[in-house]
Amino acid sequence: MNEHPIIFIDADEDDHEMFKQALSELALPYPVLVFSNGQTALNYLKATKEIPFLIISEISMPAMSGLELRQEIDQDPGLRKKCIPFVFMTHPVEVQLVEEAYELTIQGLFEKKATYAAWKAQLGAIIAYWTECHHPKRFTW
């Protein structure tokens, strides 16, 4: 199994379970870590030496939003140096949020699909893209 986890951040516990189930059904080699808000994810990212494969985050969450989390990552030289791909998966998608999110050097913003099958396919496509994509830290794995 790949030691670089996919981090999923969302306040909705049902989404946590759907995410885990979808990744299990997609038979991907990445461990999954889920967090309920940006602050707990940030605490983990600052405490670990491992470099996550990918961060998928909701925008609207209590304690620390996905936008605030991305700002914190960008402002922390150690976290920024890890070059962790960061995408938002949120609902609803509004023009203002899209503009604000892309000002934070994210790598994508996706609207959550309405059905489980469509959501699983969307996750599979996102992860397949990042599996094939080269970025600086992949050369050290």
Tens of pLDDT along 24-62?
A: 899 888 899 999 999 999 999 999 999 999 999 999 999
Domains for the chain: give ranges and CATH numbers. 6-140 (3.40.50.2300)
Torsion, Cα 134 29 73 83, to 10 degrees, reads -20
Tens of pLDDT along 107-136?
A: 999 999 989 999 999 999 999 999 888 877
CB 11 within 8 A of CB 39: no
pLDDT bucket at 85, cuts 50 / 70 / 90 = very high
Which of 1-5, 83-87, 129-133 has the largest mean confidence?
A: 83-87
Report residue 68: phi and psi, to 5°: -65, -40
